[in-house]
Amino acid sequence: MTFADASVMPPNPPWQELNPSADAGGYISFYISDDLSRLPMRAVTKPGDTKADPNLETFTYGLFSFCGGQLRSGVVTRRYPHLFFATSWKRQRVLTGYYHIYWYARVVSDKRPDFCLAADNVRFVAEPVPLTEVDRICGINVDRPFRNMLLLSEAECKRIARLINDRPDATAAYKEEIDRLERFNLKHGGYRYFRRKQKDKFSWDLAKSRLKAV
């Protein structure tokens, strides 16, 4: 089978179901936000270092980026389905949304092993929640020093997910903002993503060369 013969979207090969563990914990992933954005989304316009994740265009993580490999390996090894996202926004660290991971796949990389993740449920909020408020409301301790990721227990994941689910879903607005900033890049620099020399949106078609059938 070649990628030209079939879709590479999950649940098609090379995607496999994660099959969450009995103690279905998760992670918080910290990403760099965009200074020009109206929402606390990934850095689309950061000069020389534009970001691909969280990739709301495909509901994936690590499909177009090599960053965060340790977290992705942890998700697959532990079979933890909950992936929350945090960033710095208006001088404070905030919680912005989550993925519920349902599939994973091997990806082409010099690193072994390397995986990408795909979600069956995604939710981001327009009014991000300061981590201090997350701790206060959920009775947990995530407002503490961590750089790229933070491991969470099953109970912590359930409380944080409930907190996000109680707020209006703004995922569609995030996707619109991504497109707006990409068009800004395209107009002023000739590319949606300068470092990649990429004029097209992220899509499943672009993913074909990154995925590796197993």
What's the number of domains the chain is made of? 1
Residue 2: predicted pLDDT: 44
Whether 70 is covered by a domain: the verdict is yes
Whether 90 is covered by a domain: the verdict is yes
DSSP-derived pairing of the beta strands 16-17 and 92-106: antiparallel
Read off the CATH number of the domain in which 178 is found: 3.10.590
Residue 108: predicted pLDDT: 73
Residue 67: predicted pLDDT: 83
Q: Which residues of the chain have pLDDT under 70?
A: 1-6, 110-113, 212-214
Residue 3: predicted pLDDT: 41
Whether 3 is covered by a domain: the verdict is no
Residue 213: predicted pLDDT: 52
Whether 5 is covered by a domain: the verdict is no
From the list 4, 1, 5, 20, the residue with the least C-alpha distance to 119 is: 20
Whether 4 is covered by a domain: the verdict is no
Residue 7: predicted pLDDT: 83
Q: Which domain holds residue 89?
A: 16-207
Residue 4: predicted pLDDT: 45
Residue 111: predicted pLDDT: 62
